[in-house]
Amino acid sequence: MKFSTTWLKDHLETDASLQEIVDTLNAIGLEVEGVEDPAEKLAGFTVAKVLTAKKHPDADKLQVLTVDTGEGDPLQVVCGAPNARAGMMGVLGQPGAVVPSNGMELRKSAIRGVESNGMMCSVRELELGEDHDGIIELPEDAPVGYSFADYHGSSPIIDVAITPNRPDCMGVYGIARDLAAAGLGTLKPIAFPEFTAEGACPVEIRTDDPEGCPAFYGRVIKGVKNGPSPDWLVQRLKSAGQRPISLLVDLTNYLMLAFGRPAHAYDVAKLHGAVVARRATKGEQVLALNEKTYTLDESMVVIADDKEVHDIAGIMGGENSGVQDDTTDVLLEIAYFDPPRIGVTGRKLGLASDARTRFERGVDPAFLQEGLDLLTGLIVELAGGQASEAVQAGSPPSEPKVLSFDTARTVRLGGVEVSADEQRRILESLDFAVGDDWQVTCPLRRHDIEGPADLVEEVVRIHGLDKVESVALPRVEGVARPTATADQVVERKLRRAAAASGLNEAITWSFLPEDEAAHFADSAALWALANPISEDMKVMRPSLLPGLLNAAKRAATRGSASTRLFEIGRRYFRGSDGLSDERSTLGVVLAGEKTARSWATGKAQMFDAYDAKAAATQLLEAAGAPAGNLMVMGEAGSQFHPGQSGTLRLGPKKVLARFGMVHPATLKALDVDGPIAAVEIFLDAIPQKKAWKGAKSFARPSFTPPALQSVTRDFAFLVPEALPAAELVRAVKGADKANITDVGVFDVFAGQGVPEGRKSVAVEVTLQPAEKSYKDADLKAISDAIVAAAAKQGAELRG
């Protein structure tokens, strides 16, 4: 929320400097996000008087002015404004000044052969408005030579972040109240302009939905004259980032920004019959002030007459009944709407507004009549007209919350000593009524106060959070115990292993579009959000791969030739008990070139299914999975290419990972160019290592190399063509676990000399003797065991 210090001082009597105001706001929990000083933009611009104005000798539309700056000799300035004339007061930008509208630095120059020492400026050039028909004309008594920034009264603008629990500070007056409570000045009473109300309201006003709109107040003002707003109002709105529209609209916005009270003005001439707060009917439509048409449902509250809907209650008015320059009679509406209903309606319609921000957080229900009278008085004072009596349909919440407060809680919960008298002063300065028995009655606008702990927070933040002493948490002596869980330890190891292998970590959204989530769900029950941020984030992800594939797509569109990404996160499913079923997962995507083209390797090599398998195996080993016992099987899922993918399992049913090339149909569904290799490791499926129950030893582990040299033997087998080499390797390893330490494939061949339907797979077997060297009989026995184990897989020793 933005406001100028001038606006703040309309409500706060203070001599505090800008820095003191900013520091105090931060200290009491109203975080200052930025400070902008418009006077800095106007440096170098001064009030000047035009002494003479003569036609330029070489240009019909230019004049040569003599300008008095109040310092030294008059300056000569070339000007093309039609209203420039001798005797007028204006604003001169001298050489060195920077024009705010375009950033141009003014310099002494020659225009059509005539020297010019600056520029007489228009409103638009100084970003004070949109008028560009001529230069600024100041009153005759404007002081020549005076800084225009000081003359104009430009004051710093403060941008404050208001947390959702503080709707009472969604107006400048609420911020002034907090600053006054903090001792930065005195809160001024609200000045209500006087007016006389005569006659009954000619428009019937009522609420037919007391649940959604408990209170609907209003009155008619006849004979108003709409038009531009006065300078003070324009400056207030601009400091808040609002664009002035017309006097009537600007005054409703002023009420909202100054006091946190949204209001609306209808053109009576465009209304038909009674104006009613009611529920919308399903399919009913309204053309809003943003020129968009919205389709409503029966859960939404609207303001309507006998003919049509004129307002999406609490969010945005309708185009058809908005006030115009020729409006003469207006109906003012100030209402109290149910905050949750406003939030639901806004999310359903995807419609945000300043009014919604305030209503869904909860406006002050005690400021309806006062707000209506204040707005009425301002309109009558500035736009004229005759106000009718007010109509009060329904009644807002009026039962205040009363809490029992123990002042000793402040030191227990807040960690700071504050005297009882000071605590009473702070609470009363924030409009809490404190009884002699410390029964505290909360103001109705403080929806955030739920218990005594909230009162402690009010006392501590106003007293000063910087006064709370920093105290270290107690810690027992000795070596601190590890705090990471087993799952966290595994994730840390995986991150290091993935990064060491050349993968880059990505963090993608946990939400997906519904169609992408369904593509990866494999008929599992998805978690769909009732109130998603957007339709593109409607469903909790059932897989990490869509997010990584989209990340690879973004990298490719930005010219990345090779993308290697991994992510550790959660997949989400709807459990049978109605709760979320979250599963820890690691995803890997390998896209583009594995090796770039070069004179040594020739053309670039792309990632393939073998790279995906290697990554899966390496990362599973890093996670502590028994990599030597893994089985390679198919059925990686419909998202993977059936001939270039597989799964890694512990037994036929326990799937630890799936890997391979992403199916072209999946890439097409996500609009991603391929080919792309991917891995998904299901960390929750990896068996946990059993905890060691023996005595703990802190000695450094030692490694003694074997005393005897290892022996290698090569075997070539004829195996069925469909048999994976990994199955043969596993069988050979299991033939003699005491002696066989490693098995590796070094040749695979099919073709001439190999029977049809078979292939030749050659493996190197490493044997490690323990206590004595092998004899021929030992080696023969091991070889026979290897051949026998291979035969069980349909393999035979090649002759």
Going by the annotation, the residues of the binding site for Mg(2+) are 448, 454, 457-458
DSSP of 672-727, one letter per residue?
Answer: --S-EEEEEEEGGGSPPPPPP-S----SPP-----SS--EEEEEEEEEETTS-HHH
Positive or negative CA dihedral for 116, 121, 125, 130? negative
Peptide bond into 74 cis (omega under 30): no
Answer for the pair 636, 522: CB distance below 8 angstroms, yes or no. no
C-beta separation of 555 from 676 below 8 A: no
DSSP labels, 206-264: EES-TTT-SEEEEEEEES----PPPHHHHHHHHHTTPPP--HHHHHHHHHHHHHS---E
Q: Which two tokens stand for residue 237?
A: 């709105």
Q: Cα(484)–Cα(638) distance, rounded to whole angstroms?
A: 36
3-state secondary structure 253-265: HHHHHHHCCCCEE
Give the Cα separation of 260 and 374 in Å (integer): 13
Two tokens, residue 611: 């790279």
Separation between Cα atoms, residue 384 and residue 639, nearest integer Å: 70
Q: Identity (one letter) of the amino acid at 152?
A: H
| CB 405, CB 213: distance < 8 Å | no
* Paired tokens of 10: 């309309």
Binding residues: 448, 454, 457-458
With a CB cutoff of 8 Å and minimum separation 6, the contacts of 453 are 409, 413
Query: How far is the C-alpha of 42 from the C-alpha of 91, rounded, in Å?
Result: 10
**Considering only CA atoms, which of 399, 398, 396 is closest in space to residue 211?**
396
Question: Residue 555 carries which side chain, given as an amino acid letter?
Answer: A
Radius of gyration of the CA atoms of the chain, in A: 39
